Amino acid sequence: MHASATILKRLAHANLGPPDRLRQVLLRVQVSAASIDEGKTAPEVIYDGNTVSHLKAPGGVAMDNYFVYWLNKAGAPKAGTLIRGLQYATAETIQNASAGVKLLAGNAPKCYGVCLAGGNIFYTDEASRLYGINRASTSRHVVRTISSSLQAPRGCVSDGAGTVYVADKSQNAVFRFPSNMDDLMPRAMVKAADLQGAFGLAIHDVGYQAPGILR
**Domain definitions of the chain by residue range:** 61-214
Task: Please state the rounded mean pLDDT for residues 203-207.
Answer: 68
pLDDT band with cut points at 50, 70 and 90 for residue 186: very high
Whole-angstrom distance between the N-terminal and C-terminal Cα of the chain? 22
What per-residue confidence (pLDDT) applies to 109?
Answer: 87
Poorest-pLDDT segment among 24-28, 175-179, 182-186 = 24-28
CB 165 within 8 A of CB 153: no
Tell me the three state secondary structure of residue 37.
helix
Write down the mean pLDDT value for the chain: 81
Closest CA to 155 of 195, 120, 115, 104: 115
Nearest CA to 89 among 54, 117, 141?
54
Q: Pick the residue with more confidence: 125 or 43?
A: 125
Amino acid at the residue 183: D
Does the pLDDT of residue 157 top 80, yes or no?
Answer: yes
**Does the pLDDT of residue 167 top 80, yes or no?**
yes
- Looking at CATH, the fold of the domain delimited by 61-214 is given as Neuraminidase (2.120.10)
119: left (phi over 0), alpha (psi -120 to 50) or beta: alpha
pLDDT range class, residue 31, cuts 50, 70, 90: confident
Q: How far apart are CA 40 and CA 15, in angstroms?
A: 23
pLDDT digits (tens, 9 = 90+) for 44-95: 888 888 888 899 888 899 999 889 999 998 866 678 999 999 887 655 555 5
pLDDT of residue 38: 87
Report angle CA 169, 173, 179 to the nearest 5 degrees. Answer: 100
pLDDT at 97: 60
Q: What pLDDT digit, counting tens, does each position of 107-147 carry?
A: 998 999 999 999 999 999 999 999 999 988 666 778 999 99
The one-character DSSP state at 67 is: E
What pLDDT, on a 0 to 100 scale, did the predictor assign at position 113?
Answer: 95
